């Protein structure tokens, strides 16, 4: 969902392999660049055309080119949108779900939200909007150093709300992309939605700015070949190993006192069971509940819960089977850790 520095390597496109009937083990050994993936001829092509129709409706003639990449992003300075490869084919969506437990952008509404957001990045590069003084007055300096974590203010009315986790607050570029996406969304009366919000000033500026660009070609639209972008030149198993590591690299040393408040120490007892047994049985339901309210990646939540399960075994903790609120208590605890990650970059909370 962010911009990304690009590198040009001038590689030759490899010969595609026949992969659709491979099992997971065989498929994971394949180089993504050799899967022959394109947006053309897929169901995603219609969504791209929907984006272009939305731009046309606003009088914007620039249609950002869309390509297959390893995630949602625009290369820094390049007005193009890259869509994750795993969305291109049902077989790859199934693999993504088995590996990461979720498929980002799988639903139509989620896909279009992300497309509008990335279109905002593309337009800022195509028309060099981030260099305009008024743009900087409204959104800040695009040169501000980006960070993987930020401290969102959930009740702030200075920013629009489009993607989850108050993403507009993470960086000036994201603030612009989110504002653009809200402005572009069909059938959204943003003037009514953001009435009395300070963010309405950004939306009004975006409306004026885009009206001034109607029917105008981009001032920066460098030609490039998809083959020159080496984002997919790696095996699927390497891609998922990196992705899992990224999601799992900030787990805490758990607070034993917290777990002792959730469970208790006992050898055996009627109406009790091992806490780890209970958590393993309810793992999917707990993960889904935490995901619903945090929108954190399911893989990260699942790995966090697995660490808790392991620690419960080490401490010999048990759970009361008569406690009807067990799921609620555990989900609340993991939610608090997960939301703390958004604010601090760590799951571990401070006392």
User: What pLDDT, on a 0 to 100 scale, did the predictor assign at position 85?
Assistant: 96
Q: Residue 9: is its pLDDT beyond 70?
A: no
- 100 & 171 share domain: yes
Q: Quick one: average pLDDT of 85-103?
A: 93
pLDDT at residue 174 greater than cutoff 90: yes
* pLDDT score for 235: 95
Residues sharing a CB contact under 8 Å with residue 110, sequence separation 6 or more, in sequence order: 104
Domain boundary among 189, 216, 237: 237
pLDDT beyond 60 at 350: no
Same domain? For 139 and 219 the reply is: yes
Residue 205 lies in a domain: yes
Domain boundary among 237, 261, 292: 237
Same domain, 154 and 274: no
- pLDDT band at 249, cuts 50/70/90? low
Rounded to two decimals, the pTM is: 0.76
- For residue 17, being part of any structural domain is answered with yes
- Residue 8: is its pLDDT beyond 60? no
Question: Do residues 293 and 158 share a domain?
Answer: no
Is the same domain home to 77 and 115? Answer: yes
For 112-129, what is each residue's pLDDT tens digit?
A: 999 999 999 999 999 999
Q: Which residue has the higher pLDDT, 247 or 189?
A: 189
Q: Are 172 and 277 within one domain?
A: no
pLDDT of the residue at 236: 96
The angle, 0 to 180 degrees and rounded to 10, between the axes of the packed helices 90-100 and 298-315 is 30
Q: What is the CA radius of gyration of the chain?
A: 23
Residue 228 pLDDT class (50, 70, 90 cuts): low
Residue 40 maps to a domain? yes
Is residue 331 domain-resident? yes
pLDDT on residue 113? 97
> Is the pLDDT score of 48 beyond 60?
yes
Task: Look at residue 151 in the predicted model and tell me its pLDDT.
Answer: 75
**Are residues 85 and 211 both part of a single domain?**
yes
Report the number of distinct structural domains present in the chain. Answer: 2
What do you get for the CA distance between the two ends of the chain, in Å? Answer: 33
What is the Cα–Cα distance from 89 to 16, expressed in whole angstroms? 15
Of 78-92, 180-194, 324-338, give the lowest mean pLDDT range.
Answer: 324-338
Q: 163 with 48, same domain?
A: yes
Give whichever of 166-175, 264-273, 335-344 has the largest mean pLDDT.
166-175
Residues 278 and 232 in one domain: no
Q: How confident is the model at residue 102 (pLDDT cuts 50, 70, 90)?
A: confident
| Overall average pLDDT of the 60-76 stretch | 93
For residues 67 and 169, membership in a common domain is answered with yes
Mean pLDDT of 130-152: 86
* 27 in a structural domain: yes
The reply to whether 211 and 260 lie within a common domain is no
Torsion of CA 187, 190, 192, 196, to 10 degrees: 170
pLDDT at 11: 41
User: 1 or 219, which is more confident?
Assistant: 219
By residue range, what is the domain housing residue 56?
2-237
Quick one: pLDDT band at residue 253, thresholds 50, 70, 90? low
Q: Which residue has the higher pLDDT, 228 or 273?
A: 273
For 61, left (φ over 0), alpha (ψ -120 to 50), or beta? alpha
Q: Is residue 206 part of a domain?
A: yes
Q: Are 225 and 256 found together in one domain? A: no
Q: Exposed, middle or buried by CB within 10 Å (0-12, 13-18, 19+), for 214?
A: exposed
pLDDT at res. 254: 58
Among 237, 260, 294, give the residue marking a domain's end.
Answer: 237
Average pLDDT, the chain: 87
Q: What confidence category does residue 6 fall into, taking pLDDT thresholds of 50, 70 and 90?
A: very low
> 78 in helix, strand or coil?
coil
- Of residues 43 and 339, the one with the higher pLDDT is 43
Check residues 340 and 345 and name the one with the higher pLDDT: 340
Query: Which range has the worst mean pLDDT, 3-7, 22-26, 119-123?
Result: 3-7
Is residue 350 in some structural domain?
A: no
* Residue spans of alpha helices (H) in 127-268: 133-139, 172-184, 190-193, 200-212, 236-248, 256-262
Question: Distance between CA atoms of 231 and 84, rounded to whole angstroms?
Answer: 10
Is residue 224, in this structure, part of any structural domain at all?
Answer: yes
- Residue 351 has a pLDDT of 38
């Amino acid at each position: 969902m962010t911009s990304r520095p690009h590198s040009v390597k001038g590689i030759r496109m490899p010969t595609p392999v026949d992969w659709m009937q491979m099992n997971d083990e065989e498929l994971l050994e394949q180089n993504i660049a050799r899967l022959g993936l394109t947006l053309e001829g897929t169901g995603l092509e219609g969504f791209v055309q929907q984006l272009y129709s939305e731009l046309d409706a606003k009088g914007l003639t620039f249609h950002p080119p869309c390509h297959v990449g390893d995630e949602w992003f625009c290369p820094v300075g390049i007005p193009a949108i890259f869509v994750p490869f795993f969305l291109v084919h049902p077989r790859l969506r199934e693999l993504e779900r088995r590996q990461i437990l979720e498929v980002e952008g799988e639903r139509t509404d989620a896909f279009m939200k992300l497309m509008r957001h990335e279109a905002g990045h593309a337009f800022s590069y195509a028309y060099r909007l981030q260099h305009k003084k008024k743009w900087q007055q409204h959104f800040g300096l695009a040169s501000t150093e980006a960070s993987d974590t930020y401290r969102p203010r959930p009740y702030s009315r200075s920013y629009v709300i489009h993607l989850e986790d108050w993403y507009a607050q993470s960086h000036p570029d994201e603030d612009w992309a989110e504002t653009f996406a809200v402005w572009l969304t069909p059938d959204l009366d943003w003037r009514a939605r953001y009435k009395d919000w300070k963010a309405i000033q950004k939306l009004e500026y975006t409306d004026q700015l885009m009206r001034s660009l109607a029917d105008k070609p981009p001032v920066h639209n460098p030609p490039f070949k998809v083959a020159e972008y080496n984002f997919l030149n790696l095996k699927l198993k390497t891609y998922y190993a990196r992705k899992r590591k990224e999601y799992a690299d900030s787990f805490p040393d758990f607070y034993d006192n917290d777990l002792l408040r959730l469970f208790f120490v006992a050898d055996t007892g009627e109406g009790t069971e091992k806490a780890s047994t209970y958590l393993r049985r309810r793992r999917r339901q707990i993960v889904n509940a935490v995901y619903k309210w945090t929108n954190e990646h399911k893989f990260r939540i699942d790995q966090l819960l697995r660490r808790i399960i392991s620690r419960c075994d080490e401490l010999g903790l048990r759970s009361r089977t008569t406690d009807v609120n067990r799921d609620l208590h555990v989900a609340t605890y993991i939610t608090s850790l997960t939301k703390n990650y958004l604010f601090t970059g760590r799951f571990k909370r401070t006392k």
